[in-house]
């Protein structure tokens, strides 16, 4: 008897998204086969046909939150079905720390290690990805160059890890979401759920958002994220992305209360937060 394997799409090998995918799989029942895509967009395109996907949803060196949010709104049938956070650590990679003069990395990684780089008085050069940075340093054979990247990439290109965990802030977490068009079966019953919604405000006037938040505050529902973006469809209107702790039986009533104040409101997912 042949086992049916579900496909789970994510970013290339060695990325944090791949690691997040493997972590998601430890929580899921069923057989999965990881498929690698070149971009967040490709992941959504594939999941829109079938299977599941894992992409970053928050400030990350692998993609912008705004793209993932745009795609969640565009691929209306693709929902968030799970979430987890990963610690992001950066490493100094190269030949000899004392000989380094210039650091090469992705702009987001350079930004996340800025104080460390400044302390050493190094100059910086931005490239497209952390893995490209490590490759560049390896191919140059130039001891004056150092890269910021993952341990895996140091191994891949045969360079030394000169220092671990060089990020300025130690609570550097990135959230990843599991997306799909159908439900999934979890091995253990998750004990925390969140809801993500997107809506457009009817009127752009002072206090409009304040009235929306009142509906949450009065029900003592904790918001975990809020973001506004100008609507692409009409000038002067805004769409809002709000994540909040699942209020259980109050969910329907809360969403109903927002309908009057919005031109549209979609639930992007009601999903477990995995540890």
157 is catalytic: no
Task: Select 28 or 57, whichever has its Cβ closest to a second copy.
Answer: 57
* Gap between the Cα atoms of 167 and 236, Å rounded: 39
Contacts of 64 (CB under 8 A, 6+ apart): none
In whole angstroms, how close is the CB of 217 to a second copy at the nearest point? 4
CB 36 within 8 Å of CB 13: yes
Of 10, 68, 130, 174, catalytic = 174
Task: Select 140 or 222, whichever has its Cβ closest to a second copy.
Answer: 222
User: Which positions touch a second copy (CB under 8 A)?
Assistant: 38-42, 45, 58-59, 63-67, 70-71, 74, 107-108, 110-112, 114, 124-126, 128, 168-169, 171-173, 204-207, 209-210, 213-214, 216-217, 220-223, 225-235, 238
Of 24, 32, 157, 176, catalytic = 176
Task: Select 28 or 198, whichever has its Cβ closest to a second copy.
Answer: 198
Nearest to 148 by CA among 115, 179, 190, 181: 115
24 is catalytic: no
Helix (H, G, I), strand (E, B) or coil at 95: coil
Tell me the C-alpha to C-alpha distance, in Å, between residue 42 and each of 25, 47, 53, 100, 252. 20, 9, 10, 37, 33
Burial class of residue 102 in the structure, from the number of CB atoms within 10 Å of its CB (0-12 exposed, 13-18 middle, 19+ buried): middle
Task: Select 11 or 100, whichever has its Cβ closest to a second copy.
Answer: 11
In whole angstroms, how close is the CB of 249 to a second copy at the nearest point? 17
Task: Select 21 or 112, whichever has its Cβ closest to a second copy.
Answer: 112
In whole angstroms, how close is the CB of 155 to a second copy at the nearest point? 24
Residues of 209-247 as b/e, b for ≥16 C-beta within 10 angstroms?
beebeebbeeeebeeeeeeeeebeeeeeeebbbbbbbeb
In whole angstroms, how close is the CB of 246 to a second copy at the nearest point? 13
In whole angstroms, how close is the CB of 161 to a second copy at the nearest point? 23
Active site residues: 174, 176
């Amino acid at each position: 008897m042949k086992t049916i394997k579900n496909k789970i799409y994510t970013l290339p090998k060695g990325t944090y998204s791949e690691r997040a995918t493997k972590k998601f799989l430890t929580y899921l029942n069923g057989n999965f086969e990881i498929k690698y895509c070149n971009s967040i967009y490709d992941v959504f395109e594939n999941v829109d046909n079938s299977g599941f996907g894992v992409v970053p949803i928050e400030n990350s060196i692998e993609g912008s939150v705004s793209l993932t949010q745009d795609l969640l709104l565009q691929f209306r049938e693709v929902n968030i079905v799970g979430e987890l956070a990963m610690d992001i650590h950066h490493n100094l990679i190269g030949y000899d720390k004392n000989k380094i003069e210039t650091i090469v990395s992705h702009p987001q990684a350079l930004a996340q290690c800025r104080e460390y780089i400044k302390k050493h008085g190094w100059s910086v050069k931005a490239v497209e990805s952390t893995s490209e940075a490590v490759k560049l340093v390896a191919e140059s054979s130039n001891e004056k160059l150092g890269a910021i990247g993952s341990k895996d990439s140091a191994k891949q290109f045969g360079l030394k890890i000169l220092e671990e965990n060089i990020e300025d802030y130690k609570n550097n977490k990135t959230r990843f979401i599991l997306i799909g068009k159908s439900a999934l079966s979890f091995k253990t019953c998750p004990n925390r759920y969140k809801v993500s919604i997107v809506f457009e405000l009817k009127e752009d006037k002072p206090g409009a958002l304040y009235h929306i938040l009142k509906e949450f505050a009065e029900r003592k529902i904790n918001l975990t994220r809020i973001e506004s973006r100008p609507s692409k469809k009409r000038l002067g209107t805004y769409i809002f992305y709000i994540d909040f702790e699942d209020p259980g039986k109050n969910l329907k009533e809360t969403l109903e209360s927002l309908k009057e104040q919005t031109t549209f409101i979609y639930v992007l997912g009601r999903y477990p937060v995995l540890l």
